[in-house]
Amino acid sequence: MISIQSLNKDFGAFRALSDINARVEKGEVVVLCGPSGSGKSTLLRTLNRLEPITTGRIEIAGVDVNSRGVDINKLRQKIGFVFQQYNLFPHLTALDNIVIGLTKILKMPRDEATKRAMALLERVNLTRRASNYPAQLSGGEQQRVAIVRSLAFQPEIMLFDEPTSALDAEMIGEVLALMRELAATGMTMMCVTHEMRFAREAADRVWLMEKGKIIVDTDKAAFFNSHPNERVQRFLSSIN
């Protein structure tokens, strides 16, 4: 589903991603972890071309993301992206945050879009919040709306960049629960997160990044086994 080949990404003279080679199969859930500044966000952002690459190749469902001919806006509809915060548009209600993409990007009739949006809000138990503005929602509610807003496009891939890092502790659970549920439906997911509980429960593979490189790419069992790789051990102890 995702194939990354010899990817390099420079910011000026600084190499943020260095010779990345990796694959994500359809339905796989990959947890991406590593110290701050190691290039996790940059890697995620290159996947939907929010960040242009320097050299290398990224294929999503067989399509070269950075080729000139690709309709990037169409491709992005198939890739949901959830940021750490400020995902929702504050001038629109929870419902309209979902509806606007459907009506303006997909040109769906408004009543059909509203129906789909309400069904998604119901899925996360937020129907009663439909007409509230983002600022009236808790951080956890905002992130759940942001996730189902992406789902409205029926994406093939969901990317998460630390979706729970800005949340108060008591709200992290509800967002992770939704992500777990999504993983169980067979969604292809890449999640930057330090929630190792989530990785243990929902991940298929774990990538560990350091200084722009993927230094560990292994299945979950190997990552969390009792004799972990020394670098994994160092990382795990650093976050606990």
Based on CB atoms, which residue is closest to Mg ion, 41 or 188?
Answer: 41
* Smallest separation (angstroms) from other proteins to the CB of 227: 40
# of chain residues touching ligand ADP (CB under 6 A): 11
> What does the per-residue mask of binding to ligand ADP show for 40-79, with x meaning CB under 6 A?
xxx-------------------------------------
Cα separation, 125 vs 237, in Å, equals 36
| Residue choice 38, 41, 164, 188 for contact with Mg ion (CB under 5 A) | 41
Ranges of H-type helices in the chain: 40-47, 72-77, 94-104, 110-123, 139-151, 169-184, 196-202, 220-224, 230-239
Q: What is the CA radius of gyration of the chain?
A: 18
Based on CB atoms, which residue is closest to ligand ADP, 27 or 37?
Answer: 37
> Pick from Mg ion, ligand ADP, other proteins, none: which does 73 bind, CB < 5 to 8 A by kind?
other proteins
Cα separation, 138 vs 155, in Å, equals 25
Cβ neighbourhood burial of 52 (10 Å; 0-12, 13-18, 19+): exposed
State both tokens at 160: 């998460």
Cβ neighbourhood burial of 73 (10 Å; 0-12, 13-18, 19+): exposed
Residue type at 240? N
> What does the per-residue mask of binding to other proteins show for 151-190, with x meaning CB under 8 A?
--x-------------------------------------
Cβ neighbourhood burial of 110 (10 Å; 0-12, 13-18, 19+): exposed
Candidates 9-17, 59-67, 101-109, 165-173; binding stretch for ligand ADP (CB under 6 A): 9-17
| 142 sits near Mg ion (criterion: CB under 5 A) | no
> For binding to ligand ADP (CB under 6 A), which residues are involved?
11, 14, 16, 34, 36-42
> For binding to other proteins (CB under 8 A), which residues are involved?
48, 50, 73-74, 76-77, 79, 81, 83, 85-91, 100-101, 104-105, 133-136, 149-150, 153
